[in-house]
Amino acid sequence: ASLATRQAGLPERDIQATRRAGWLHDLGKTGLSAAIMEKPDALTEREWEKVRLHPYHTERILAHSTALGQASNLAALHHEALDGSGYYRRLSGATLPPAARLIAVANKYCALLENRAYRHAATPDEAAAIINREVRAGRLDGEAARCVLAAAGHDSAPRGQVAGLSEREIDVLRLLAQGYLTRQIAERLVISPKTADHHIQHIYNKIGVSTRAGATLFAMEHNLLESPSE
């Protein structure tokens, strides 16, 4: 995580905090029973609720140290996702700082390489493939994934999508920036208007804007107005 943070060009303060958060992020699991941690079957909803709270308990433990303040904040975010499906705060999009996005990817990658009671460990290549699928699904940040995979030794780690946007969301953003209405975007991409609107709201959330003008400016700044084939 700290190597990836350095690769991402973040300041030394963030690199140090990410390293510490990486070491300490799972302290909250001390509150989970062995019956939950070693259960080979699906967890009950009550058991899952206890698991989802372990980042909170990590944050509370680390909050007792003033020297670990930033690390405490980062450690609490190691299971958050860009689309708001993570835990425990269910933050999303622009509310997740770059260092938090990096540690979320690093946590996912490292966890995949470890044996669990309910599955075998993945190989590094399998883990990288899963990470990239999570990027395409809009749950993990693409640039954070690229940095983490490169830090883990994946020399051919592909550059992720901008701001964690999936390929379909970039298609929608491109049409949105070109002036197409929601109904027209749906027709062009052969999806329902409701699905197109859903994509637009996710895009706004991920890139931190609330208007078409803001989305258009973002697309221009990141050279997204033309498709790769163009």
Can you state the angle between helices 212-221 and 167-177, rounded to 10 degrees?
110
Structure tokens at 178: 């070109």
Q: What is the pTM of this model?
A: 0.69
Contact 147, 102 (CB under 8 A): yes
Q: Residue 116's beta-bridge partner residues?
A: 119
- Tens-place pLDDT, residues 36-57: 999 999 999 999 999 999 999 9
Could you tell me the maximum CA-CA distance found in the chain, to the nearest angstrom?
Answer: 55
| Residue 105 banded pLDDT, cuts 50, 70, 90 | very high
Q: CA 187 to CA 178: how far, in whole Å?
A: 15
Q: CA quadruple 14, 16, 19, 20: dihedral positive or negative?
A: negative
Give the separation between CA 212 and CA 69, rounded to whole angstroms: 37
pLDDT digits (tens, 9 = 90+) for 162-205: 677 777 888 899 999 999 999 999 898 888 888 889 889 889 98
- The encoded tokens of residue 137 equal 């699904």
- Active-site residues, by number, are 29
Instruction: Count CB-CB contacts under 10 A for residue 205.
Output: 18
Helix, strand, coil % (nearest 5) of the chain? 60, 0, 35
| pLDDT tens-digit series, residues 120-175 | 999 999 999 999 899 888 899 888 898 899 999 987 444 445 677 777 888 899 99
